Amino acid sequence: MTDVITKILKFVSFILVIIMLLLCYVQLPDSIAVTHNEIGRPTGFMDKQTFFYVGVAVIVGLYVLFGLLKSTLVKTNFSNLNPKSLWAQKPEQLRNLLGGWSDVFLTVINIYLLFTLLAIKETNGEASRNLFRNYDWFLIVGAIALIILIFFVPLRLLFTDPKE
């Protein structure tokens, strides 16, 4: 059941990121402010087409990389690596854990990209394009979430046993 939910969340987050990228392409000005100085004035700009193509490349690249990672993890025979491990003795549960982890990780990255695109759209939607809000908290929360997800699988494999 959780496998179905993670696949649905991954698909929905993918669709939402694509929709937000298309909305950014339609609604943003031709010159997008991507960096700001200490007082919030825009200092670095990118044209709309470059922003769109970079966004598409990042999304496609992430899906290709995580697809390769998932297929590699699912096909790996972990009983050869550590035959005494309880997880290696239950390969189906290990495959489900690793496959679900890669889907959830990609979903979190998609949600992070979604909010990043929303912040860029909000910042560039104003006439002055000044940065009125501080988005540093967003970078910190996103980094913490990604670090937790990176260490989730190794910690779970070390400190828990597979269910019977």
pLDDT in tens, 59-81: 999 999 999 999 998 888 888 88
Buried b (16+ CB within 10 A) or exposed e, 44-82: eebebeebbeebeeebeebeeebeeebeebeeeebeeee
Backbone angles phi, psi at 105, to 5 degrees: -60, -45
Tell me the domain boundaries of the chain.
2-159
Q: In the chain, how many H helices and how many E strands?
A: 6, 2
Tell me how far CA of residue 76 lies from CA of 68, 70, 123, 147, in angstroms.
12, 10, 45, 24
| pLDDT score, position 134 | 67
Q: CB-based burial of residue 136 (10 Å sphere; 0-12 exposed, 13-18 middle, 19+ buried)?
A: exposed
| pLDDT score, position 73 | 87
Give the separation between CA 18 and CA 10, rounded to whole angstroms. 12
pLDDT in tens, 106-158: 999 999 999 888 888 888 876 555 566 667 788 788 889 889 988 988 888 88
| pLDDT score, position 38 | 79
The pTM assigned to this predicted structure is: 0.84
pLDDT in tens, 17-28: 999 999 989 988
**DSSP-assigned beta bridge partners for residue 47:** 31
